[in-house]
Each structure stands twice: as structure tokens, then as C-alpha cells.
Chains A and B, each alone.
Chain A
């Protein structure tokens, strides 16, 4: 069964901390995405990657960076966490035809 795995289901971090959210897929997909989901706003694209070491900004990249050193792993980095980054974070991978989502990481910044 194909999988997208996010390393943490729930995280609580302090304001100012550097936070790493990890996502691993086992489907050999080129395309990987990070979204955040907030009530009433739906899913908004933060960053995406079409290939190893390649990254593109999505709609709301401010305060975030990403890393894709290997095809199967796409990391989202919060350089200095702030309370307005409290959200559900969803990773997905795609061939361009179908999406597979991870289970999400609910991040709370206190």
C-alpha cells in the first residue's frame, strides 16, 4: 500500500523555536507539496518541489523554508516559530495525476 508518512501527529513548540516537519513517501513520486489547513480557509500551498534539490514557493511561503535532499523526503522548516503558525500541516506527493496525502501534523506554537 502506497504511503506518505509524516513523522509527528501532534507537536507543541515554543515561540522562536526552529521546527522541522518531516514527510517521506515510498511511491517514487517526483512531486511533493506542503499545505497548511485552517478552518474556513481550506488548504493553502506553502511550498512544493518537482525534483530533488528543487523547490518553488506556493501561496504562503513567508516564515517557512523547505529541503529536498532525497527524492522520498521533503522537509518543512519553520525558521522561528510564531503563534500564527499554529495549524494543521499536510504533506502530499503526486505524479501529476493523483494525490496521496499524509495524515497531517497538528502543530501548536505557544
Chain B
């Protein structure tokens, strides 16, 4: 059975802190790993990772995949209150786009 596990489930940090979110997976045919950010509405796409060891960056957010460890991390540096959200990790389980999601990590950034 395909499985995606995220940790921690929630955390509270102060503005300016650095946050590291973890995602581990067990899937039959691994293709890629996706990160999404969800505020009040629809999840919005952050990163798609396919190759091990190659960091993807977007502003203060970065992510890297470790296929040997079957895991990925999402880093947020110099956090701001606007980073408060649920961060979702997901892995496609077939070639048509069906996704297995983790439970998400709720991040709260306090001023």
C-alpha cells in the first residue's frame, strides 16, 4: 500500500526562524514528489522533485529529494507570518495523476 508520512504534524515558530519539514514515502513506482502550500483555500503548487540531491529553490523556500532514504525536506528560511499555512507532500501513484498525500504539516509563524 502506498504511503506518505509527514512530520511534524504541526509547529509554531517566531518570525525569522528557519523551518524544516519532512516527508517520507513508500510507493510502488516512484515518479516524483510534490510539495504544496495551502492557506485558506486551494493548495498551490510549490515544487516537483524527480532527481535525488538536486535542490529546488523559490525565494526563501527550498526542497531536496533523497531517493536512497525515500524522503524529502522542505526548508523555509527567515520565516514570515505569510508563511503560516498547511504544507502538503504528495506522490503520484499512477501515470494519470492520482496522488497519495501526507497528512500535512501545519506551520504557524508568530510575529
Q: Please encode chain A, from 66 to 103, with 1 for each CB lying within 8 Å of some chain B CB and 0 for all others.
A: 00000000000000000000000010001111110111
Whether A104 contacts B41 by the Cβ 8 Å rule is yes
Q: Please encode chain B, from 76 to 111, with 1 for each CB lying within 8 Å of some chain A CB and 0 for all others.
A: 000000000000101000011111011110000000
User: What total of A-B pairs shows CB separation below 8 Å?
Assistant: 50
Q: In which size bucket is the chain A interface?
A: 20 to 34
Interface residues of B, Cβ cutoff 8 Å to A = 4, 6, 9, 34, 41-45, 88, 90, 95-99, 101-104
Interface residues of A, Cβ cutoff 8 Å to B = 4, 31, 33, 35, 40-45, 48, 50, 58, 90, 94-99, 101-104
Enumerate 17 A-B pairs (CB-CB under 8 Å) in ascending A order.
A31-B97, A33-B98, A40-B9, A42-B88, A42-B104, A43-B88, A45-B98, A48-B98, A58-B98, A90-B42, A94-B96, A95-B97, A96-B96, A96-B97, A99-B45, A101-B42, A103-B42
The 6 A-B pairs of least Cβ separation, nearest first, read: A94-B97, A101-B42, A42-B103, A43-B101, A42-B101, A103-B41
